Structure 1
Amino acid sequence: MNPYPQKKVITFNKHTDDFSFNVNYAELDHIPSVELQYIGALNLTEVVLSGVGDALSKHTGDNVEHKGIKAHFNLDDSGILNLVNVEFVAEKTVTEDPDESTMAKIGSTISKLFGSEAETLEKPDEKPEENPQEDSQNKTDKPNETSTEKQNTTEPETKPKPKIVVLKETIKSDEQILNLKPLSPDQLSQSKAKIAELNAIDRKRTERETALNNLEAFVVDAQMKVDMEEYAVCGTEEQITEIKKICSETSEWLYDDGYEAATEVFEEKLASLRDKTHPIFYKHWEHSERPDAIAAIRNMLNNSKEFLKMSKNFTKELNSEKDVFTEVEIGVLEKKITETEGWLNTSIKEQKALKKNEEIKLTVESIREKMTNLDREVKYLLNKLKIWRPKKPVKIETENKTEEVVSEPKESKENGETQEIPVTETEEITVEETEAKEEEEILQLGEGKDEHSEL
């Protein structure tokens, strides 16, 4: 619901030529006379209309009724009244042409006539059996049909209803604002500069209030924390005493001389107070977060050990069919688990031997780094297990048997190093090749025997 009407229409019925009208404030009796002077001029705008006589002369006649000239106003969200448009409105009564209606009726009857003839032509020529009783009935029905036709011809025809058409024509209007004149270019630039200056003042005020609130909140928070035992044990007596002294001095300064200080002063005092309290607050955070970090890395170590135990079953020595991992890869993971576990146990012992206000040996960041390194090794083997596929068997054909041998990587030694050469193509030995080799061997043996007999 709108608190006030946003649209207003003023209708002028008696004007037949160009005229002008004013828009004023009305019904101001409830406002005291002292406050009326602050409103200013009560006359808001003056509107001059032209072309009224021409619009009236265009729309004249017995069937035309003038509804007057209507001025449409709109009240925007800022409460400013604006003239939308001015238009001349008339209503014209229009009736249907009887000639057109009769021609339409004739056209419809002709279409029905041709439609009935086409239907009769489509029907097959079938002569029904003649019954004397039906003929007598048809003869008796003919007088009734003629009587109904006469009644239909005597009925009066219905007259068409008149239609009302609304005619509108725009009237040229010239609006002059009287209470508030538009600004000149110089005044507009001055107003923009003033608004920018006010925005800068508001921004500086907001920054100063924010800095003051941050300093007050930090002083109160620091005073409460250093009085707590869990924070006090994280610092030395000298540090706690110094922080309490700075907080009390800052609090007194804020409520006495510092309330009107500049923004930079608040920010400097807040930065110096944070530097003093940071070591204690950081140590307290480390001691409170360390148990969760240790529990997380121990859980990762247990999972890594289980994965290592399972991975050893997928090596060539234990499972020749599923040799997913090599001994080097298993050894790297096992070494990483051992190193991480040993480092964790040693660091925990060293940290327990220290006081809470001393330098921290086992930090949360170092635990996260060790977890990242261990997780990288486990993920490497896990991804290799996912993409592993069994090796294809190699078919070897002999005289009467076909053997399937799993292709294994061949080894070649160069310079004392062993290199693995994978078999990429299957080797097939046919029966003809084996027979040819046997015949060659027999011939060689026979030649050797002849030479020996001659000797």
Structure 2
Amino acid sequence: MASPQRIVAILCFVLAIVLSLLSDQAQAAVMSIDYGAEWFKVGLIKPGIPLDVALNKDSKRKTQAVVTIRDEQRLYGSDAVALSGRFPHLTYSNLKSIIAKPFDDRHCVEYRHRFSNNMSPHPDRNSVLFKHNEETELSVEELIAYQFQNARDQAKATAGEDVKDVVITVTPFATQYERQAILDAAELAGLNVLSLIHDETAVALNYAISREFTTTPEYHIFYDMGAGSTVASLVSFSIVEQKEGKKTRKVPQLEVKAVGFDRTLGGHEFDVRLQNLLVDKFNEKNPTLDVRQSGNAMTRLLKEANRVKQILSANTETTASLESLYQDVDFKTKVTRAELEHLCADLLERVPNPIAAALKASDMKVEDIKSLVLVGGSVRIPAVQKGLGAVVGTQKIAKNVNGDEAAVLGAAFRGASLSKQFRLTKQIVIKDITVFPIEVIYHPEDEHLGRQPIHTTLFNEFGSIGTRKIMTFKRQSDFEFDVKYGKPVDEQDVETDLDQIAKVRITGLTEAMEKYKEDIQSAEQPPKVRVSIELSNSGLLSVPEASLSFQAKDSGSSFSDKVKSFFGSKEEETQSEEETAKETVQADQNQTESEKGEKKTEEEEKPKPKEPTLKKIPLNVEFIGAGPVAMSNEEKLIARQRIQALDTLDEKRRLREESRNNLESFVYRIQDFLYDDTVGIVSTEEQQEHLREQLSETSDWLYDDGETADTKEYIDRLRKLQSLERPITFRRQEYLQRGDNIKRVDSSVQLARVFVENILTNTPEEERYHTKEELETVLNHANKVDAWKVEKVSAQEKRDHHLDPIFTTVDVNKQCRELDEALMKLMKKKKPKVTKKQAPKNETTEEQEEVVVDNGKKEGEDEPVKSDQGQQQESSEEEHRKHDEL
């Protein structure tokens, strides 16, 4: 049996581990990624760190959504953009526009015309791949995962710890496949997605954080024109009552009423128009050349077009200039704002359309809107603001949010509200919507009779997300149904594969009907199949469960034994009042998923044969994605292995660069160090010259053979130089600190002597509470340290400075520490308490004279008197107090 001491030790160890884990959890951070077509931003919130944007390695608050992969090295942001002109086929940008799109989709066709990457159709998933080289093909999800990894690194550098929990923004018109692709990319990047959130909903959430509202709703439109698309989201803000158990409290609520959007109206379209203008001007000046034949030149022109567009937002004209654009021909031309607006006239006409669509869907007018909040980089274009002012009036255009960062900050706040690591003082209720209706298509069981497929709208256009609905079928055998968007998701209203969401297959029904045939036949009502269909807060559709239910007469334990292995959810569903021969759909938004864990008595559990009970038998659900299907587990495994290999190479490269930088900085530092006058005192000319030669040789090697050296060579050379430098540095440091070390020894010795001598001089021997042996021990220790100092200093003065010192800081620290500890032990010794005895009343003895007769004065008595011995004791206590203070 373990001893009590051992048990206590084990409990303390376990408690330390638990506290450590709790501490780690308490420090957990949450990040957000506002992933756009041209830029991405990273938000971060952590205990002790306020909600803010994480900086990238260039100390910028946003990063270009570009990745270049060259020589098995991934470069991001500005580094990737810098190489895009030289290696356009190895640089991947604007990936958001083609995520989860088929190869023949118009967006993919345009991408192939504008960029030089080698795109090919995916053989199995109805999406696209990039042929990076002869051996490697990359999916869009994997390329986005690289950028998510870069975002995670930014959050890690800011938080000082690894960050995995994330909320990612998506457009409200993102389809099931696009949302799933973002989730797959985040999974490959090692992130745990708490939720997806619509861009404009995140902006509205950030808007609501610092504002107060009333019970009367106020309406705002958040107009977001980014690089790839434009969205107008109409949002209401108000105070609503929320029940928390038996209590009710008032909380702010954000409710999205309607959304209007234009998938292709964005800053990138303006860039492409301007790029084409520059191309035409170059070809006009050089009739024999066609710059479109060069992918490098076209990439550089697109980059220049973006720069020119930004300048024209603040100026009426500027100059585009590129050296050696094509065939060693320089290019320079003037571009005016009027030219840009003329080129983009059709785009500018589309600017008000999302606002009109949102107002129409919500059955509201401009007068009902309090403000139009501008978001996104492209709203800075003067012509865009002019068009918006013409629709809502300039007085309603608001610029009271940070258009670049509001979405990422709102998403981070959303992450904090979903994480268990935070307790927010301000809770905001969010009610978001889906912009596409979702319908279920199924065939009646008697389809052979010629009946047409039945279309049932399950989630209406602009219906709430984060809800679950129940479909009820009257079926006798296994069946399947299709789920699709109720209207084309393509902006041209053309039906495509993107409209299909999934095929749902329900199995196990035929077997269950046969197995429980007798029980079903005795039921008062025909059996029903209930299928739960859920639209999550991330906007993803799923079918979590299906079950066969019927009212059966409980005949005792026999039935329970039959269905014991089939029982699943005990969730009760509200029955439809109208029962017909056709399948019906019903929504149960107030259903509960919690179960009471109360134990039943034997009487309650005893079956009642005559009373019918609802029996539920779970069925198998197979959710088969249609359209551009998600990545398979095998494809994810291959991508993870490739990511892991690249991560390993990145780490090796980082270590190599770090070791090279350490060696290079060491060479420069020590070369300057040798010019110090003190170095000449503590080292010989031969030692200095030898070190200079080694430094010079290493410097030459760094810029010659050292360019291709590996990490080990850098480390070995650094260690060799350090073996020559450290003895000199050590002697120099000791030489400079010697005077302070002597003073420190003298101070410790003096303090010990003064303390002991003060007690011996001022305190009578009979009143001391330190023994003579204790005082002599400390005094002898002080004398010993002093003698040690005299000996070492004397020997040091006779020793050459270029030799290792005898009187060192390490020895001084040891001697002083031991003496100080002995003195502190003596000083901390407490005076023993003196017990005072009070004499009995009406008695006068010799013992009575040793203490105070009375502590207070009684009526008719003289002042209390102290004896000579009492006064002597008080004086002794005062001396001891002074000694303790010393």
TM range (shorter): 0.5 to 0.7
**Which letter does structure 2 place at the counterpart of 1:83?**
L
**1:197-247 deviations in Å (ceiling 9; x for gaps):** 222211211111111111111111111101222223221111111110011
Equivalent position to 1:18, from 452, 455, 458: 455
1:44 equivalenced with 2:498 (yes/no): yes
Give the direction of change, closer, same or farther, for the CA distance of 1:289–1:347 in structure 2 (3 Å limit).
same
Give the direction of change, closer, same or farther, for the CA distance of 1:84–1:348 in structure 2 (3 Å limit).
same
Contact 1:47 1:173 in 2 (8 A): no
How far, CA to CA, are the matches of 2:812 and 2:756 in structure 1?
Answer: 21
Q: Which runs of 5+ in 1 are unaligned?
A: 30-40, 51-70, 87-166, 407-455
Contact 1:8 1:74 in 2 (8 A): no
**1:403-441 deviations in Å (ceiling 9; x for gaps):** 6999xxxxxxxxxxxxxxxxxxxxxxxxxxxxxxxxxxx
Match of 2:541 in 1: 83
How far, CA to CA, are the matches of 2:781 and 2:817 in structure 1?
Answer: 12
3-state SS, counterpart of residue 209 of structure 1:
helix
3-state SS, counterpart of residue 735 of structure 2:
helix
Contact 2:683 2:802 in 1 (8 A): yes
Q: CA shift at 1:179, angstroms?
A: 1.7
Match of 1:156 in 2: none
3-state SS, counterpart of residue 18 of structure 1:
strand
1:251 equivalenced with 2:699 (yes/no): yes
**Which letter does structure 2 place at the counterpart of 1:347?**
K
How far, CA to CA, are the matches of 1:359 and 1:200 in structure 2?
Answer: 44
1:270 equivalenced with 2:715 (yes/no): no
How far, CA to CA, are the matches of 1:271 and 1:392 in structure 2?
Answer: 71
Contact 1:8 1:73 in 2 (8 A): no
Equivalent position to 1:319, from 765, 771, 781: 765
How far, CA to CA, are the matches of 2:696 and 2:496 in structure 1?
Answer: 62
Contact 2:749 2:783 in 1 (8 A): no
Match of 1:210 in 2: 658
**Which letter does structure 1 place at the counterpart of 2:695?**
C
How far, CA to CA, are the matches of 2:774 and 2:817 in structure 1?
Answer: 18
**Which letter does structure 2 place at the counterpart of 1:82?**
L
1:309 equivalenced with 2:757 (yes/no): yes
1:178 equivalenced with 2:617 (yes/no): no
Q: Which runs of 5+ in 2 are unaligned?
A: 1-33, 35-168, 173-197, 199-432, 442-452, 457-481, 505-532, 545-584, 590-620, 851-886
Give the direction of change, closer, same or farther, for the CA distance of 1:170–1:352 in structure 2 (3 Å limit).
same
TM-score of the aligned structures, taking structure 1 as reference length: 0.52
Q: CA shift at 1:42, angstroms?
A: 6.5
3-state SS, counterpart of residue 435 of structure 2:
strand
Contact 2:752 2:823 in 1 (8 A): yes
**Which letter does structure 1 place at the counterpart of 2:497?**
N
**1:231-289 deviations in Å (ceiling 9; x for gaps):** 23221111111110011111111101111111111111111111111100111121223
1:339 equivalenced with 2:784 (yes/no): yes
**Which letter does structure 2 place at the counterpart of 1:214?**
N
**Which letter does structure 1 place at the counterpart of 2:540?**
N
How far, CA to CA, are the matches of 2:440 and 2:625 in structure 1?
Answer: 23
Match of 2:171 in 1: 4
How far, CA to CA, are the matches of 2:696 and 2:772 in structure 1?
Answer: 66
Q: What is the number of equivalent residue pairs in this alignment?
A: 282
**Which letter does structure 2 place at the counterpart of 1:230?**
T
Contact 1:304 1:337 in 2 (8 A): yes
1:169 equivalenced with 2:596 (yes/no): no
Give the direction of change, closer, same or farther, for the CA distance of 1:235–1:380 in structure 2 (3 Å limit).
same
Contact 2:502 2:626 in 1 (8 A): no
**Which letter does structure 2 place at the counterpart of 1:8?**
T
Give the direction of change, closer, same or farther, for the CA distance of 1:232–1:28 in structure 2 (3 Å limit).
farther
How far, CA to CA, are the matches of 1:203 and 1:44 in structure 2?
Answer: 40
Contact 2:796 2:807 in 1 (8 A): yes
Identity among equivalent positions (%) equals: 21
**1:311-358 deviations in Å (ceiling 9; x for gaps):** 21477xx432x1323333332222222222233234333323434212
1:388 equivalenced with 2:832 (yes/no): yes
Structure with the largest fraction of helix:
1
How far, CA to CA, are the matches of 1:235 and 1:28 in structure 2?
Answer: 82
Give the direction of change, closer, same or farther, for the CA distance of 1:229–1:181 in structure 2 (3 Å limit).
same
Contact 1:24 1:43 in 2 (8 A): no
Give the direction of change, closer, same or farther, for the CA distance of 1:221–1:328 in structure 2 (3 Å limit).
same
How far, CA to CA, are the matches of 1:14 and 1:183 in structure 2?
Answer: 25
3-state SS, counterpart of residue 9 of structure 1:
coil
**Which letter does structure 2 place at the counterpart of 1:253?**
W
Match of 1:298 in 2: 746
How far, CA to CA, are the matches of 1:223 and 1:366 in structure 2?
Answer: 31
Match of 1:328 in 2: 773
How far, CA to CA, are the matches of 1:13 and 1:192 in structure 2?
Answer: 36
How far, CA to CA, are the matches of 1:221 and 1:368 in structure 2?
Answer: 29
Q: CA shift at 1:73, angstroms?
A: 6.4
3-state SS, counterpart of residue 324 of structure 1:
coil
Give the direction of change, closer, same or farther, for the CA distance of 1:335–1:176 in structure 2 (3 Å limit).
closer
How far, CA to CA, are the matches of 2:640 and 2:439 in structure 1?
Answer: 45
How far, CA to CA, are the matches of 1:299 and 1:213 in structure 2?
Answer: 44
**Which letter does structure 1 place at the counterpart of 2:629?**
L
Give the direction of change, closer, same or farther, for the CA distance of 1:221–1:289 in structure 2 (3 Å limit).
same
How far, CA to CA, are the matches of 2:731 and 2:777 in structure 1?
Answer: 35
Match of 2:727 in 1: 279
Match of 2:679 in 1: 231
Give the direction of change, closer, same or farther, for the CA distance of 1:184–1:337 in structure 2 (3 Å limit).
closer
Contact 1:48 1:174 in 2 (8 A): yes
How far, CA to CA, are the matches of 2:849 and 2:831 in structure 1?
Answer: 23
How far, CA to CA, are the matches of 1:314 and 1:263 in structure 2?
Answer: 69
How far, CA to CA, are the matches of 2:439 and 2:713 in structure 1?
Answer: 73
Aligned-residue CA RMSD (Å) = 4.1
How far, CA to CA, are the matches of 1:28 and 1:286 in structure 2?
Answer: 81
Match of 1:361 in 2: 806
Contact 1:46 1:175 in 2 (8 A): no
Contact 1:72 1:85 in 2 (8 A): yes
Q: CA shift at 1:369, angstroms?
A: 1.6
Q: CA shift at 1:304, angstroms?
A: 1.6
How far, CA to CA, are the matches of 1:266 and 1:377 in structure 2?
Answer: 48
**Which letter does structure 1 place at the counterpart of 2:455?**
D
How far, CA to CA, are the matches of 1:24 and 1:200 in structure 2?
Answer: 44
How far, CA to CA, are the matches of 2:639 and 2:768 in structure 1?
Answer: 83
How far, CA to CA, are the matches of 1:239 and 1:169 in structure 2?
Answer: 88
Match of 1:372 in 2: 817
How far, CA to CA, are the matches of 1:42 and 1:326 in structure 2?
Answer: 99
Contact 2:678 2:732 in 1 (8 A): yes
How far, CA to CA, are the matches of 2:746 and 2:632 in structure 1?
Answer: 76
Structure with the largest fraction of strand:
2
How far, CA to CA, are the matches of 2:756 and 2:709 in structure 1?
Answer: 65
Give the direction of change, closer, same or farther, for the CA distance of 1:301–1:82 in structure 2 (3 Å limit).
same
Give the direction of change, closer, same or farther, for the CA distance of 1:354–1:28 in structure 2 (3 Å limit).
farther
3-state SS, counterpart of residue 171 of structure 2:
coil
How far, CA to CA, are the matches of 2:688 and 2:753 in structure 1?
Answer: 45
